[in-house]
Structure 1
């Protein structure tokens, strides 16, 4: 950072942004059986044209990148906003729609049990142009598990992703931890993930600190190549997203998927 303090919008602005974004969440839907609400216009047009759904990307080995990746290139104007996929699907759909309105693409690391409860979210994420990956089956402390249990957590979510999308997803992120142990890294490779996706900016949104705190924390640490950790299931994250996207645009950065960020030449 250049040492300047990043301005945070006034409280009245934050309240207005939060209220406007959250006001319509009660009826937001993904247009699948078993989920209430409307189908987004893009999805309606796709169904009407009988077009095939967006192919599910597969994991890629990235030569020159470490097994555990925290950030992308520092000399290119891209950042990856990554969301841990669990919690109220209405909030998740609100986040996706807001990102798409701004031309941003996200990376969602989904919990397998969440996909069991809301299977249409997998295709909703992919068809919006976002990355979809694996955040274990039950979101437990994977670093504390023995080999068999830890592998079952990784592979269980991978197989759910495969059944829903045809792919095990693009990335693996360990649950309840920022960094995977060497054992968990090895197990992820065994399950089909050459890399573990960590992050260098933690929003701390899961502590529910308020919209201003989430915005300040991310804006204060964001720079070229940043990978930001956020969560679907918290209203602070939903309300902060348009403010973060505005800040990203102001700095002439682009919010891209982790795949786009990390496949840029080193």
Structure 2
């Protein structure tokens, strides 16, 4: 065989090999482009301006990737809730809302059996009520789907620490870790740390706790003026009587998920509130 003939055959074979490899090379290029295109940080946390709805986007980078992300949406894909701006007169610690408007806020400690929590949310929604759930972060590790369930029902989410310890007895760094740990889980699951922080095992936040809440991104702590002590399981009738006996316009009621008596009491409570002309709204709506 002549040298020219051998050269032609080698060139033909090389062209055939490149043609066959073409789709593989193209696929590798697409994969690399996709991997390179996913990098990037989230938007900054904007400040609220009067009259403008607040979009609660992440304002802090989680100290560690929370285990809650295993069962929920990552913050990059989550749609942060849009909340009304608070009134300029809203204090650092909110105990009640305005007394001159026919609104009240039912707030719930977010923990316990998810079936009972879901039943409670359904009862509220059937009566046109919106509630505020202050979640315990470790509960979200176990029940990450509840974060979106609460928001998708038109309710509001807030922070009730990571492990529900006696936060008033903790050091500054320990208190911050409890607040920031729950904030990380909320941010990872919903794209927002939420607006409200409620101290655990305390009605009011100490000066130290308020400072650590601000450090974690919370400008306001959410207290309450009515506690029917439903966590002691006194029964639906007692819970109902305690709420309706003490509630008035602007009241913020402290309740708990995971208790059958609370679930059973809620429909009658909401019907009685409607008869009195009182509407159950979120904490942000109450203070807007």
1:249 aligned onto 2:284: no
Question: 2:228 maps to what in 1?
Answer: 203
Report what 1:153 is aligned to: 178
Q: Note the residue ranges of structure 2 that are not aligned, 5 or more in a row.
A: 1-69, 72-76
What is the root-mean-square deviation of aligned Cα atoms in Å? 1.9
Q: After superposition, give the CA deviation of every residue in 1:5-33 in whole Å (9 maximum; x if it has no partner).
A: xxxxxxxxxxxxxxxxxxxxxxxxxxxx9
Residue 77 (structure 1) shift = 0.2
Distance in 2 between the 1:83 and 1:70 partners? 15
The Cα offsets for residues 87-144 of structure 1, whole Å up to 9 and x where unpaired, read as 0010000000111111100000000000000000000000100000100000110001
| Shift in CA distance, 212/219, structure 1 to aligned 2, threshold 3 Å | same
Q: Which has the larger radius of gyration?
A: 2
* 1:63 Cα offset (Å): 2.2
Counterpart Cα distance in 1 of 2:212 and 2:127? 37
Give the structure 1 partner of residue 117 of structure 2: 92
Partner of 1:261: 286
CA separation in 1, counterparts of 2:165 and 2:285? 29
1:164 Cα offset (Å): 0.2
Paired residues, number: 215
Residues 1:121 and 2:146 aligned together? yes
8 Å contact 2:95–2:222 — kept in the other structure?
A: yes
1:110 maps onto 2:135 in alignment: yes
TM-score by length of 2: 0.72
Structure-2 separation of matches of 1:88 and 1:213: 21
Task: Structure 1: state its 5+ residue gaps.
Answer: 1-32, 35-51
Residue 62 of structure 1: CA displacement?
A: 4.6
Closer/same/farther in 2, CA of residues 149 and 62 from structure 1, 3 Å limit: farther
1:193 paired to 2:218: yes
The equivalences for 1:1-266 within 5 A come to 55-57=80-82, 62-263=87-288
Identify the structure with bigger relative contact order (alpha carbons < 8 Å, sequence gap 6+): 1
What are the Cα deviations for residues 125-177 of structure 1, in whole angstroms up to 9, with x where unaligned?
00100000100000110001001110000000001000000000121100011
